[in-house]
Structure 1
Amino acid sequence: MKRVIFKSVPFDKKLVTLALESGVDAVMVEAAKADDVRALGRVTVITPEDMTVVELKEKADEEVAVKAVKDGKSVVLRKGWEIIPVENILAQVDSLALECESLDRAVLAAGILERGCDTVVVLPEGAADLKRIVAELKLSQGTMDLQAATVTAIESTGLGHRVCVDTISMLKRGQGMLVGNSSAFTFLVHAETESNPYVAARPFRINAGAVHAYTQMPGDKTTYLEELRSGTDVLIVGADGATSLATVGRVKVEVRPMLLITAEVRTPDGVKTGQVFLQNAETIRVVSDKGAPVSVVTLKEGDKILVRTDEAGRHFGMRIKEEIKEG
């Protein structure tokens, strides 16, 4: 996740307010205006003196930037930087900030050498793009490869403790969380964005599955659903594979009737099979291979639904290389 700083020099109250509403990590203003920013909201305030500005005009400027970073200084490259010099610097340092004046430049800065700079300093002329910059750099988690799996069995399994995840975000049609009995085979469980004659939509909610199930998390990690807590960032995945973050507002664990859904994916190496326990209720949905939500009560053997397959092997949610079999 990238750090986003908004530079408001000279100080502009309207732009600073916009920056706070957009969710930036810090605001840069003149030292005399720091208290004015703090009066508007809780946010880190820095001054221009806190960062060493380097303008890349010639090859020697790259060496200046690298030396300053290695000396422990926070370095920001002045707007107008070009990709090759930034690549040369990033190859030698772990931390670097770039000034950006638009969404396109911010996205470019975040992706140079694949890892990109760790901090983007958005200039006042980029204020119109600020909300999109924050969403792209702080919420987007890239794209996940989803596959179409064939449902092979749907069984009633009695009562179990299921986890209902209420986020502080309004999710959209096609979005949900990846959940499964194994971290190597997870199902896209849809958010409750759909209404019916009996229950209103709850677009902030994912009725995610049984307490023991894995869910995919940011940073290529997994966790058990039962371990989710208020304030935890969870990974939201769309039917198109696009990902973002949402913060958990509340977790409800309740005893409910459950279904065991089994599906399989055929690969060049053979057949992969996965399972997930979901509550037996009309409002619980998986996602079809066409991207549409499908209620578990109407799901049939032979239906195609979206899943993610991966290599097995996790320890405390971290990927490990180990011979492991989950059933």
Structure 2
Amino acid sequence: MHGFAADVDLSYRSDCRVVEHEGRVVAVARNQDEALASIGSAAWVLMEKPEMIALENVISVARPTGTKVAAALDAAEEVRGAAFALDVGVDALVLRPPLGPEDDLWEAAVIARAQRAERVVVEEPAPDGRPVDLEVATVTRVEPGVVADRVAVDLVRLLRPGEGALVGSSAKALALVHGETLPSPLVAPRPFRVNAGPVHAYALLADAKTKYLSELEPGDHILVVDVHARTARPVAVGRLKIETRPHLLVSFAHEVESDTLPREGQLFLQQAETVRLVSSDCEPLCVTDLKPGHRIFVSFAKHGTHCGRPIDARVVER
């Protein structure tokens, strides 16, 4: 972490100031919108006295792009928050000149730099997001009795048998929920629908981000996974149907020990015969028939998310 020269030339744009420093473009942003607008086009984005939530949002967007984020601070109590925002922190701190040998601001910055140097560097996710790797997990628990607001995701394209969406209570542990493509003696198929679970759950989008089911909108593209072909395609959401229904809590565990991937996950699914997961034999498995010991397809990821974007920070979701 370091500071920029104080005597650089400034030019002005309508959105924010642009600083030329050592041949690199530094966008000086006064708020989150100005900072986000400069990501990808500037080598650095310098946020002046940023609010923490704004700083976290800018860091999460900038990480995959190559644009670095700096924070201009003038108080010692602001240093740690900026240095460790989202558990990764800004790329630089810009400080006023020291007022003396025991300046609290500079002392806090030196301590933060030393603490950052002790941290283990985690490999950054690829710019285009994480790949969708299906793995097998074992069902460890099935519990009834939860009433929740269920979201049925109706898509603009027809689904094929073996296709579904990745959904879960944690963005790092998603289960493959089969589309309603199969006939039932009780109700006609809805081959455009994924009964995805309650409003709090995550769904994996086509751009490798996640989104709460409650925040999905028509036009959003979710990732539809074909378990037979091991391929995936983006499909737009056409409608969302939210109704209060009884649910089952399904917990599952990873079958392989791993130091980087989560060991367990869970999701709630409507207690209905038409709602299915996908077994390790690539067969639809009704949640009403689900028992501990059943093996299902899931997707585990080592990266947590911030506002749906993969971030190489420690994120724990239970």
CA drift at 1:269: 2.3
Which secondary structure does the structure 2 equivalent of 1:274 belong to?
strand
For 1:222-280, what per-residue CA distance to the aligned partner results, in whole angstroms no more than 9, with x for missing partners? 10011111121111011143100111111011100011000011323267100001000
Q: Distance in 2 between matches of 1:161 and 1:142?
A: 29
Task: Summarize the Cα distance change of 1:200–1:143 in structure 2 as closer, same or farther, 3 Å threshold.
Answer: farther
Asked if 2 retains the 8 angstrom alpha-carbon contact of 1:185 and 1:307, the reply is yes
Q: Are the counterparts in 2 of residues 312 and 325 from structure 1 also a CA contact under 8 Å?
A: no
Encode CA deviations 1:291-316: one digit per residue, 9 max, x unaligned: 11110001111001000000142111
Residues 1-327 of structure 1 correspond to what in structure 2 (within 5 A)?
Answer: 144-240=132-228, 241-269=230-258, 272-327=263-318
Instruction: List gaps (5 residues or longer) in structure 1.
Output: 1-140
**2:242 aligned partner, one-letter code:** V
CA contact (8 A) 2:218 2:236 kept: yes
Judge conservation of contact 2:257–2:263 (CA < 8 Å) in 1.
no
User: Number of paired residues?
Assistant: 187
**CA distance in structure 1 between the aligned counterparts of 2:158 and 2:183, rounded to whole angstroms:** 14
What code does the residue aligned with 1:145 have? Answer: D
**Structure 2: which 5+ residue stretches go unaligned?**
1-128
Deviation string 1:277-296 (CA, Å, 9 cap, x unpaired) is 10000000000011111100
Please tell me whether the aligned partners of residues 152 and 197 of structure 2 are also in contact (alpha carbons under 8 angstroms): yes
1:196 to partner: Cα distance: 1.1
What is the CA-CA distance between 1:143 and the residue it aligns to?
6.7
In 2, Cα distance between equivalents of 1:302 and 1:261: 12
RMSD of equivalent CA atoms? 1.7
| Closer/same/farther in 2, CA of residues 305 and 195 from structure 1, 3 Å limit | same
Distance 2:181 2:247 in 1: 21
Tell me which amino acid in the other structure corresponds to 1:273. Answer: E
Deviation of 1:157 after TM superposition, in Å, equals 3.2
Please, what TM-score do these two structures have when normalized by structure 2? 0.57
